[in-house]
Amino acid sequence: MSAAFDTLRLARRVAATVVALGLGSTAPAGAATAQAAASVSVPAACYVYWPEQGSQPIPIAIRGLVPGAAVDVGLRIDGHTVSGLPSLTVDASGAIDTQLNTWTSGLADGPSRATPAWVVVSDPLTGAQLAEVPLHVANVGLDDDAARKASGTKRRWIISGLQRLGGGATYYAFYFKHGKVIGRQRIGMTTDACGYLRTMMPAVPFKQNGTFEFRVQASPAYHGDRAWIGGTAHQGKA
């Protein structure tokens, strides 16, 4: 017998973008003297865009600016600002508290991966960069090794982002037949801030032949109201 996955298709539109951010930054060299103490920070490590629930905002705290001045805040990827807030006014204490939506274009339907990005604070008049904080943009995705192998042979699983949509840090695959859960497999624990996991596990964890829908969640028990990603697995003769 052989066990294999179809080319994975998301069983549900649970494409999401996960943003993994550093917790703080300082002004880069060369910023204007009056803005030399400028800094930008965020309170958490990851933020998610999920089309079914909308964009999870990224809270941004900027400090050390000139009161009354204007600044631009943007999310930059590959040297291009893909999302931004123009001409925000600095308050009397030299601070701005705002939020920026997560960017998703071009990532939602791609393979599991992360892309470096930065939240950037700049002067709208001169274009000078005042402060930045590094981050990563990653999709919620699931990839597998599509080559056919013998039943029970371990296969490559690559999962990203799902942890940020709810549940714990351990991924489980739940197998369905006629709409009912007939088996479960622990895929592994992610230690990555954005929930990235790459591991080797069987495509199907039991000996029953057939075609099975599977769904991956970050929970040891299946919950129909939680986010999941999945596809179809075959066991038996091709």
CATH topology agreement for domains 2-14+141-236 and 17-139? yes
Rounded Cα gap, residues 135 and 112, in angstroms: 16
CATH of domain 2-14+141-236: 2.60.40
Most confident of 10-24, 30-44, 123-137: 123-137
Rounded Cα gap, residues 122 and 126, in angstroms: 8
- How does pLDDT run across 46-56, given as a tens digit for each residue? 777 666 666 67
The residue-averaged pLDDT of 87-98 equals: 94
More reliable by pLDDT, 13 or 172: 172
- How does pLDDT run across 132-154, given as a tens digit for each residue? 998 877 777 787 664 444 556 67
Work out whether strand 58-63 and strand 70-77 pair parallel, antiparallel, or are unpaired: unpaired
Q: Of 65-79, 94-108, 188-202, which gets the smallest average pLDDT?
A: 94-108
CATH of domain 17-139: 2.60.40.1930
The domain ranges of the chain are 2-14+141-236, 17-139
